[in-house]
Structure 1
Amino acid sequence: MRNLESYKVIFWDFDGVIMDSMPVRNKGFEVVLKDFPKAQVDDLIKFHLENGGLSRYVKFRYFFEEIRKEIVSEEKIKELASEFSIIMKKLLVDDSLLISDSLDFIQKNHLNYKMHIVSGSDQDELRFLCGKIGIARYFSSVHGSPTAKTELVNRLLLKHDYEKDKCVLIGDSINDYEAASSNKIDFMGYNQLALRNKGRFYITSFSKL
């Protein structure tokens, strides 16, 4: 079984892998969509939890088009995403939300690998958060939505001419697995037991690698 010593490049998901932010993001959707029926918002949060790697733009569009069965403008999606981001910038600037298991590995090994964050979270918001909580220095770059994760990984592979067999994506959602698979790089699941049979290896704890 290949472990992380076999790789030179690690693509990291953020939510649920580096930061335990999902409960805060749940709250964000509840606040932004407070004027809509609770049952519909609950359906969105279920979709959000099952598809952590997708951007909020996709999730808000899903809310209107699939749950509410109505047409929504791009302007409305951007308005909701902006409101959501304001809430996140207030609530997520909290280093107590960082996951110590993965963070310890990152701090100890950031000079041993090229590390990039590829997230479904908004890119500007993500870069703001990583700067504020002092972790940006561990990564070669930080990337997020609205660009899809599959495309983010593809762009980095091409830009840096990385050898695909030396790259791995670590994530906690099926969308992370799909982004790795579509780019023909290895995937390792973490912090989500539903992924234990997906990819090259499932990480129960970085301290055990």
Structure 2
Amino acid sequence: MSGMLHRRWDAILFDFDGVLADSNGLKGEAFVTLYADEGPEVQAAIHAYHRANGGMARREKLMRFEREVLGRDIEPERLDRLVDAFAAAVEQAVVGCAEIPGAAAFLAAHADRPPLFIISATPHQEMLRIVAGRGMAHHFVSVHGSPPRKAETAAMLLARHGFRADRVAFVGDAVQDYAAAAELSLPFVGVRDRSGGHPFPDGTPTIDSLHDLSAALATL
């Protein structure tokens, strides 16, 4: 299967949370903890907002949550404190969390055939530390966090490496991943959540785990 994928694909782009690492749940709980002093309704609202906006950078997510859901502007100093508290709560937890089933096996079987990349909404330096901490860095040509937007990073990689859009697959679990792929006309495979749900349009190829990724990529 490795040779088949190498012939079909120039590269595979991976989101990280919910795709390679089973970290979405712990990040959701970290967002809830940020609003521990505001009561259960606000905590439930931030948890729901996080689930509905996977793949969005945390600073943007918090700013938009405050404005769109709570109806208030957030002071820059408070936003900085929330972002810093979130980072302190999650980084080591993500380093130590479980993988999405099949992730390690896929990476071991296919590293550099075709070339693999990470594009995440996690801040760039934090993403580099997490990937290194999990012992995964050697599987990837490069690892990219935010900013910029995922579509901008993907476009940069296509230009830098001379990849054709129809030969670069994007594997993600969030609407923002799908949107980035669609913006560049990249074939997309969605990873379903633990309950089997996903936020993608009907007909989008989806998988339960990375055990199924090779087969899904072979059909695109």
TM-score normalized with structure 2 length: 0.85
Check the 8 A contact 1:102/1:206 in 2, yes or no.
yes
Q: Please say if residues 110 and 139 of structure 1, whose CA atoms lie closer than 8 Å, have aligned partners that are also in contact.
A: yes
Deviations 1:68-117, CA, capped at 9 Å, x for gaps: 111123443233112211111232221x5112312211111012011111
Q: What residue identity is the alignment partner of 2:156?
A: R
Deviations 1:170-205 (A, max 9, x none): 011121111000012111112244337354x32344
Closer/same/farther in 2, CA of residues 63 and 204 from structure 1, 3 Å limit: closer
Compute the displacement of 1:64 (Å): 1.0
Q: Which residue of 2 aligns with 1:73?
A: 75
SS in 1 for 2:104: helix
Structure-2 separation of matches of 1:59 and 1:198: 28
After superposition, give the CA deviation of every residue in 1:106-139 in whole Å (9 maximum; x if it has no partner): 1110120111111122222111111111001111
Q: How many residues in Structure 1 have an aligned counterpart in Structure 2? A: 205
- In structure 2, relative to structure 1, the CA distance for the partners of 1:63 and 1:34 (3 Å cut) is same
Mean Cα deviation higher: 44-53 or 72-81:
72-81
The residue number in structure 1 matching 2:87 is 85
Work out the CA distance in 2 between the residues paired with 1:101 and 1:53: 21
Aligned positions of 1:98-109 closer than 5 A: 98-109=99-110
Tell me, in whole angstroms, the C-alpha distance in 1 between the residues paired with 2:155 and 2:74: 29
Between stretches 5-14 and 28-37, larger displacement belongs to 28-37
Tell me, what secondary structure is at the counterpart of 2:38?
A: coil
Which residue number corresponds to residue 144 of structure 2? 143
Distance, in Å, in 2 between the alignment partners of 1:86 and 1:146 is 19
SS of equivalent to 2:12: strand
Q: Which amino acid aligns with 1:55?
A: A
Q: 3-state SS of the aligned residue for 2:145?
A: strand
Q: Give the unaligned 5+ runs of structure 2.
A: 216-220
Q: Cα deviations across residues 147-167 of structure 1 (Å, max 9, x unaligned)? A: 221222122222222211110
Worse-superposed segment, 18-27 or 152-161: 152-161
DSSP 3-state at the match of 1:169: strand
* 1:18 counterpart residue number: 20
Aligned AA (2:176):
N
The answer as to whether partners of 2:172 and 2:191 remain within 8 angstroms in 1 is yes
Residue pairs, 1:22-41, within 5 angstroms = 22-41=24-43
1:188/1:198 contact within 8 Å kept: no
The answer to whether the aligner puts 1:117 opposite 2:118 as a matched pair is yes
Structure 1 counterpart SS, 2:37: coil
Matched, 1:197 2:198: no
**For residues 167-186 of structure 1, what are the structure 2 equivalents within 5 Å?**
167-186=168-187
For 2:163 and 2:54, locate their aligned partners in 1 and report how far apart those are by CA, in whole Å: 26
| Aligned residue in 2 for 1:50 | 52
Structure-2 separation of matches of 1:34 and 1:8: 46
Aligned CA distance change for structure 1 residues 205 and 22 (closer, same or farther; 3 Å): closer
Q: CA deviation at 1:54?
A: 0.9
- Tell me if the contact between 1:165 and 1:185 (Cα under 8 Å) persists in the aligned partners: yes
Whether the 8 Å contact between 2:106 and 2:211 is mirrored in structure 1 is: yes
Q: Structure 1: how far apart are the matches of 2:152 and 2:76?
A: 20
| Secondary structure of residue in 2 paired with 1:15 | coil
Q: Percent identity?
A: 26
